[in-house]
A = this chain, B = another copy of it.
Amino acid sequence: MSWQDYQKWEQMIDGTNCPMCQDIHMPENRHSFLVKELAQSYVRLPKNQDPYGLVLVALKRHATELYELESQERDEFFKEVAKVSKAVKELFKPVKLYYGIFGARCPHFHCHIIPHYISDDPYAPLALNQKKVDLKAEEYTEILRNLRALLAD
């Protein structure tokens, strides 16, 4: 579902029917696990680990564009994205991180931290959600434990 169904899209934009508002705080939802709650955001590990090490930082409150955020909210949100990105870099050792705030599937403001590895084609189009890569339960558990340790203050 996206802007092609414009009536539903409008409800996702204005927050009256936003899927992420409904489940972004949950320890586990259909798409991801909660890594940690921060001041302005929920850090989440997508079950679809394509690419390996993909992590989300989702704004707690509903907003859809960057310019809607209040100053303090914006400052704190990107401080949190910075902190999480450092943890992702340390844990997964990518050659480069991408940071992407998209929203075609759900416009609720959230940042993808996307590791790129030395073996990846740097010129390939960015195609999240085109493949499905599930890990074993114990692999998620291990990543969650490691990320939480790196995010501990």
Judged by a CB distance under 8 angstroms, whether A79 is at the interface is yes
Known contacts: A96-B104, A122-B105. The answer to whether A74 contacts B65 by CB under 8 A is no
Known contacts: A100-B99, A122-B4, A125-B125. The answer to whether A65 contacts B89 by CB under 8 A is yes
Q: Which of A24-32, A46-54, A80-88, A141-149 contacts B (4 or more CB under 8 A)?
A: A80-88
Q: Binding site of A, secondary structure by majority: helix, strand, loop or mixed?
A: mixed
Judged by a CB distance under 8 angstroms, whether A118 is at the interface is yes
Given contacts A96-B103, A99-B101, A104-B116, 20 further A-B contacts (CB under 8 A): A2-B123, A4-B122, A65-B85, A65-B97, A66-B78, A66-B97, A66-B99, A67-B82, A67-B85, A67-B86, A74-B82, A75-B75, A75-B78, A98-B101, A98-B103, A104-B122, A105-B122, A123-B129, A125-B125, A125-B126
Which A residues form the contact surface with B (CB < 8 A)? 2-4, 6, 9, 64-67, 69, 71, 74-75, 78-79, 81-83, 85-86, 89, 95-105, 107, 116, 118, 122-123, 125-127, 129-130
